[in-house]
Structure formats: C-alpha cells, structure tokens
Amino acid sequence: MCSNTAYGPTAARSSTSGAIVYSDYRDNFVVWPGRGSALHDFVNQTYAGQRHKLRHTRSSNSEDALTWLCFDTLNCVTGEPRNAAMANLWWLAFDDIPAPPGFRSGQIFVGKRYGEPREETEVDASIEGDGFLVFIEAKLYSPMSLADEENRKPHDQLARKLRVGLKEAQRTGKTFYLIILDIAPKEILRGLKPGASLADARGSTKPKPGGFAAKWLTAYWFSRYKGGASVTPLREVLHDIPDVDARTVAANMGWLTWSDVFKTVLRATIAAGSDRTVPPTRSLHQIANLIYKIVDKRPRLASILSSLIQLFRK
C-alpha cells in the first residue's frame, strides 16, 4: 500500500511486520511546536557509529516514536495539567506508594544515556529531580532482551536497567525507581505462557523465545525480580553493588500500559489547550489572511499588525 502525497505522507506497508513504513520519519511522529530540531537530534543519535533510530523510527511499530510522542509532549505541557498528569502516571504505576517530593515538576528526558562505558544504557524515558531518578523502559511489540554471555551481555535488559539506574542514583544521592511500560498489564502478558519455567525464560530451551509470542518474558522477569516472599533473584543480579536494599528496589518497581499513558497525556494536552501559545486552526487562517493583506495593501500595515498582535494575545 502506498499513499498519494497529495492526500498524505508517502508510505508503504511492510509485508513481513504489517507496519506502515514512512519515507520521512517526521510523518511517524507527533511533534510539539518548536521541537522539530530536538526531534532531529533524537533520531540522528549514533550508537556504535550507526544511526539506528533514523531507520527504525520510520516504522509505525517504533517504540521510540511512541515514547517521544508521549513523554516529550508531556514535558512541554505546563502548570496544573502537567502536575495532574504526572500524579496520575505515578498512581497508575505504583498504586499505593507515594511519589517522591517534586516528582510532578521533574524534568523528563527521552533517549538519555546513563552509566559507565562498561555498563552503559540508553533509557527510553527518564524523569529526574532533587532526590529521585526514574527510568521508564518502554516495550511495544518486542520482548525484552535476555542475557547473552557469548556476546558480552551478562545481564538481561531489565537487570541492566536496574543496575545502571541504581549506580547512577547512588552516585548522585537519589532514590531510584524503574517503570516498565508495555502494551498490556503484566498479568495478561504472563498468561501468554503460563507454564513457563526458568529455563524457558533464560532461553535455555529450544526454540529460543522471540518475537511477539515472547512478550511474556518481560512480565516473567519483572515478577521474578519484584518478588513476593523472596527477593533472592534480585539480590543475585545486584550482588556487586554495595549498600543496596533489594526489598526497597523491588518496591520501587512499577508497571504502566500504553493505554494508561496515551489517555493521561491526551487529557493533559486538552486541559492545557487554553494556555497554549500556538493559536487554534481558525486563528491560523485569520493570520494567513492578514499576512496576505499586508503584502497586498501596504498603506494599512500599522492597523493590520495591530490586529495580528491582538490575535496572539487571545
């Protein structure tokens, strides 16, 4: 399927994934006014000398595109709409655990890197403030990656985020929190393979888990590390990090779904509509007509400019 450029962006549907692949990555993003250059920098980031995002963010299945849409937008919303959205996201992720002081006004980053060269990671979204650091690991249709000793990856994706976040929090004197953002609640994803063993989850059995059918992996390892009566698995992956209370780390692990985030951000954006600096569509048409008059009738320039100013003040 290809769209006509006269009616929409140029794109084609992938025959393997079913995703829409856009010719221009910008057609796959929702960008807050004035954030175009920041988006350009984001998709042109390099990793191992290659610009992976520039290719992958053209796909409608892109986790990066959705993460940017939600969290960069939320970072641009101000005032009470933003405060309410931040409070709601925290409650949805952690239920009865109170948010750290200042969380509502925390600074949001998308795609920031943390850690040391030997243990570095890019975080999908993070929230920083005085005394707290929150990592948000976003998954859409792909499962989390597993440990792979042969390729010098001693920890799975979830453990790696925990380790890097805890070390960064210790270094800066903050409390660390980790939120998994996925397509469904962990209970539903876990149900994709209810009888999975530890060997299955480690990828020791054949065939190795992969693709959408392996979405249960994130829920499995999240539940294993968060624990219940025992946090021994969590202690094992954090054993070489001093002064870490595994039970506190487990308590500070939360879960969100994309539907939670979409609704929260949309409510905040609508609520902030009366305060936005970009005029509504009707005003844009009025401004365009006024600019035309400026070009066409110079003697009335002063009066027309005055009308423009009044429009922007509304």
Residue 274 confidence (pLDDT): 57
Q: Across the chain, what does the average pLDDT equal?
A: 86
Residue ranges of E strands in the chain = 11-13, 20-22, 107-116, 119-129, 132-138, 175-182, 253-257
The rounded distance, in Å, linking the Cα atoms of 246 and 128 is 22
Write the CB contacts of 197 (distance below 8 Å, at least 6 apart in sequence). 205
The rounded distance, in Å, linking the Cα atoms of 209 and 279 is 49
What does the pLDDT look like over 235-246, one tens digit per residue? 999 999 999 999
Pairwise pLDDT comparison (26 vs 307), residue with the higher score: 26
What does the pLDDT look like over 160-173, one tens digit per residue? 999 999 999 999 99
Pairwise pLDDT comparison (125 vs 7), residue with the higher score: 125
Band (306; pLDDT cuts 50, 70, 90):
low
Band (312; pLDDT cuts 50, 70, 90):
very low
Name which of 102-106, 117-121, 284-288, 299-303 the model is least confident about: 284-288
Residue 156 structure tokens: 């799975």
pLDDT at position 313 over 70? no
Is residue 278 within 8 Å of residue 33, measured between CB atoms? yes
pLDDT at position 157 over 70? yes
Residues 189, 190, 191, 193, CA torsion sign = positive
Percent share of the chain, pLDDT over 70? 83
Checking DSSP bridges between strand 107-116 and strand 20-22, what pairing results, if any? unpaired
Residue 51 confidence (pLDDT): 85
Long-range contact pairs involving 257-263 (C-beta distance under 8 Å, separation at least 24): 257/181, 257/182, 257/183, 257/184, 257/185, 258/66, 258/140, 258/181, 258/182, 258/183, 260/89, 260/92, 261/70, 261/89, 261/181, 262/70
Residue 235 confidence (pLDDT): 96
Band (204; pLDDT cuts 50, 70, 90):
confident
What does the pLDDT look like over 34-73, one tens digit per residue? 999 999 999 998 877 778 888 899 999 999 999 999 999 9
pLDDT at position 298 over 80? no
Give how far the C-alpha of residue 115 lies from the chain's centroid of Cα atoms, to the nearest Å. 19
Residue 275 confidence (pLDDT): 55
Residue 47 confidence (pLDDT): 74
Residue 206 confidence (pLDDT): 67
Residue 282 confidence (pLDDT): 41
Length of the chain as a residue count: 314
Does pTM surpass 0.75? yes
Pairwise pLDDT comparison (269 vs 276), residue with the higher score: 269
The rounded distance, in Å, linking the Cα atoms of 95 and 89 is 10
Residue 294 confidence (pLDDT): 46
Helix axes 301-313, 281-296, angle to 10 degrees: 170
Partner residues linked to 257 by β-bridges: 182
Checking DSSP bridges between strand 253-257 and strand 175-182, what pairing results, if any? parallel
Taking Cα atoms as reference points, which of 231, 82, 221, 75 lies closest to residue 161?
221
Pairwise pLDDT comparison (133 vs 116), residue with the higher score: 133
Write the CB contacts of 194 (distance below 8 Å, at least 6 apart in sequence). none
Residue 259 neighbours by CB distance under 10 Å: 11
